[in-house]
Amino acid sequence: MDRRDKKFLIPNNWCDPLAKSLDKDYKILEINGNRQFEYTNLYFDTPENICLNDHIRERKNKYKVRIRSYVNSNICFLEIKKKNVHGRTIKMRVQRTSEKWDSPLTDSEKRFLSERVPFASGLSPVLYISYSRFTLAQLNRCERITLDTDLTYTTIQGEISNPLKGLIVVELKQVETDRRSPLFVFLRSMPERTTQLGRIIKISKYVLGRLSSDDSLSPRTYLSKLKVLSRATKAIK
């Protein structure tokens, strides 16, 4: 998978007008009568937080490594997301066959990572992320829109947080960035649009989760990214 991604935060009450605005141009993904799908992810990082810090510093080549469970279909994958120097997101994955979705990596899975991630040997689980997702597709434009709701972060120690309560993470996935997309048109039309709501944000669900759930991370080091979360949550109050 090779694409360009753009992320936005919107409040829950934008969901209905967004759906009406996109209704003519997009089809919602529906499988066996279901339109809402549950995702559970286990993210990996190194003791030095290479994945986190490369995203915070917006390095040209950066990685995210996770196990993703598609709960409704009981299928899971070990996935690598690489964002390259050209700003393109390349996704590589292999299906897991273990009995438990988040069981330790097998030798073949470790080889899969070591052949694609320079620091694979230092990776270990750091954070669980779960959410519900709706997916809209526009085949003529070759683009998809995902809406992630009810984000829940759980640390390896079992501590749970919901820092994005009241917010939806919207992601636009395109072959090439096209600001004529109906999603951009809708967001520009919203009078409540602010610095953080309805505008492109350069921060991932993983980064938000780590910064909001890991007290060992220095607030001063990650201040600019923490402000994104703070301003977005304040805007809906």
State which residues form the domain around 8.
2-235
Sign of the four-CA dihedral 127, 132, 137, 141: negative
pLDDT digits (tens, 9 = 90+) for 141-167: 789 999 999 999 999 999 999 988 899
Tell me the two tokens of residue 56: 């915070």
Separation CA 53–CA 62 (nearest Å) = 9
- Between 118 and 25, name the one with better pLDDT: 118
pLDDT digits (tens, 9 = 90+) for 6-35: 999 999 999 999 999 999 889 999 999 999
- pLDDT confidence band for 237 (50 / 70 / 90): low
**Sequence-distant (≥ 6) Cβ neighbours of residue 161 within 8 angstroms:** 152, 153, 209, 212, 213
Per-residue pLDDT, 1: 64
Per-residue pLDDT, 219: 61
Beta bridge partners of 64: 81
Per-residue pLDDT, 135: 96
CATH number at residue 101: 3.20.100.30
Task: Answer yes or no: is pLDDT of 99 > 90.
Answer: no
Separation CA 182–CA 53 (nearest Å) = 33
Average pLDDT taken over every residue of the chain: 90
Q: Is 215 exposed, middle or buried (0-12, 13-18, 19+ CB in 10 A)?
A: exposed
How many domains is the chain built from? 1
Tell me the two tokens of residue 63: 């990685």
pLDDT digits (tens, 9 = 90+) for 60-84: 889 999 999 999 999 999 999 998 8
Task: Answer yes or no: is pLDDT of 231 > 70.
Answer: yes
164 contacts 10 by C-beta, under 8 angstroms: no
